[in-house]
Amino acid sequence: MESFQLCLPTKVIFGKEEYQNIGEYLKPYATKILLHYGGGSIKSSGLYDKVVSSLNRAGIEFVELGGVQPNPRVELTRQGIELARKENVQLILAVGGGSVIDSSKGIAIGVPYEGDVWDLYDKENSAKPQKALPVATILTIPAAGSETSASTVLSNMETGRKYGCSSELVRPVLSILSPDLCLTLPKNQAANGICDMMAHIMERYFSPSTHVDVTDRMCEGVLRSIMNNGKKLMEDYKNCDLWAEIMWAGSIAHNGILGVGRKESWVSHGLEHELSAIYDIPHGQGLAIVFPAWIKTVWKENPTRFVQFAIRVMDVDLEYYDQEAIILEGVRRLEEFFTYIELPTRLHQIGIDNSDFEKMSKAVERIKKTSFELAMEVYQTAL
C-alpha cells in the first residue's frame, strides 16, 4: 500500500426531495449566490421552481446563468466568472450533472484568478488555482462523481481540447443527492452514467500497487453492486430504491476513497477525453468503447490483476492455468454488460473511423497519459 492522505470535506445530504431545503442548507455559507444550470431539464422537471422558492424562503439572493452543454464549454464559464464578479456572489450553486458542476467549479476558481480561466486547465500552462469560491450542488444525474470530486473538466472549442483541472479547492462544500431527481432521466443518459462510474472505479482498481486488499474488495463490491442494480434498473426504471443505490455508488466511485494507497491509471479517461473533445460524444459512451479496448491492449503488463477482476467481479470460472482465456472472458462479460444497457462498444457503431487516431494519440502522449504507440493500438482495437 502507498502512503496517502484523505480528507473528504463535502457534506452529503442524501434523501428524497432534500433539494426543497436548499435555501436553509446554504444559509451558513452565503447570502448571495450564482445559480448555474444546464439546457433546460431542470425547468421541464419543475426542479428550478422548487429551488427558486426554497432560496426565496430562506432569503438568499441569487443571480442565474443557464445553458451549460454536455462537455461544458469554457466560453460559458468565462461568462459566469464575469457575472459572479459583477454581482459579488459568495457561492456557486450547480443544479445539474457533471457538466454543470464542472462549469461551476471553473467559475469558482476563475473569479479570484487574474488571468484567463483556461490557463488553469491548459496542460501547456503551469498555472494552478490558489483560491476559489465555494461550490454547492444539487445532483440530477448519477455519473461523473463531480458532486464530491476534486476535479473539473472543460472543453475549449477554439482549440479542440478537453482538459481537467484537479485541486482540493474545487471539492464542493455541500451536495444534495435526491434519487427522485433521476426519474426524468432518459435511459441513454442513465447508461452513460453507469459506465462512467464503473470506469472511475476501474481506473483505480487496475493498479500496479500491491497489498491493497481493503480497497480491492471495496472496488469489487461497488462494481458488482452497480452492475446488479444497473441491470435491474433497466427493467424497473421508475424504482427509486434502485436509483438510490446507483446515485450513492456514483459518488463513492469518485470521491477518492476507493483509490487510497494505490497508484491510479486514468489512461482510458485520457483516451476518451480526446474522443469527446473532437466528436462531442457523451463521456460515458466513449468509455464503454475505450475501456475494454484498453484492457485488451495492456493486460499482459499485469496479468494477475486482470485475472482477479475477471474472477471476482465478472464471476469467470475457467481453468486457472489459462490466464489469457480468463482475462478475455472477463472483458467479454464487461462488454456484454455495456451492450445490455444499450451502450456501444466499438467506434464504428457511432460512426467514428480512424481518421483522427494519430492526432488523438499525439494529444494523449503530450498530456503524458501514455505513449503514442499504445494509444494508437487502443484506438485501433476499439474500431
- One-letter amino acid of 359: K
> Residue 73's binding partner, choosing from Zn ion, ligand NZQ, none, with beta-carbon cut-off 5 to 8 A by kind?
none
C-alpha cell belonging to residue 174:
455541500
- Tell whether residue 256 is a contact of ligand NZQ (CB under 6 A): no
> Residue 145's binding partner, choosing from Zn ion, ligand NZQ, none, with beta-carbon cut-off 5 to 8 A by kind?
ligand NZQ
**Of residues 14 and 266, the one with the C-beta less far from Zn ion:** 266
> Residue 330's binding partner, choosing from Zn ion, ligand NZQ, none, with beta-carbon cut-off 5 to 8 A by kind?
none
Contact 324, 366 (CB under 8 A): no
- Is residue 347 classed exposed, middle or buried when 0-12, 13-18 and 19+ CB atoms within 10 A define those classes? buried
**Of residues 89 and 287, the one with the C-beta less far from Zn ion:** 287
d(CA 23, CA 15) in angstroms, rounded, equals 16
d(CA 329, CA 177) in angstroms, rounded, equals 36
- Name the one residue in this structure whose C-alpha cell is 489469457: 324
- Please report how close the Cβ of residue 127 comes to ligand NZQ at its closest, in angstroms: 19
| Binding segment toward ligand NZQ, per CB under 6 A, in 1-9, 96-104, 239-247, 291-299 | 96-104
- Binding residues for Zn ion restricted to 193-222, rule: CB under 5 A: 196
E-strand ranges in 241-382 read none
- Tell whether residue 152 is a contact of ligand NZQ (CB under 6 A): yes
User: H-helix or E-strand containing 36?
Assistant: strand 32-37
- Name the one residue in this structure whose C-alpha cell is 483541472: 165
- Binding residues for ligand NZQ restricted to 16-55, rule: CB under 6 A: 38-42, 45
d(CA 368, CA 287) in angstroms, rounded, equals 19
> Residue 146's binding partner, choosing from Zn ion, ligand NZQ, none, with beta-carbon cut-off 5 to 8 A by kind?
ligand NZQ
C-alpha cell belonging to residue 306:
486482470
The site for Zn ion (CB under 5 A) is made up of: 196
Q: Which residues bind ligand NZQ (CB under 6 A)?
A: 38-42, 45, 70-72, 96-100, 102, 140-141, 143-146, 149, 151-153, 181-182, 184-185, 189, 192-193, 196, 254, 269, 283-284
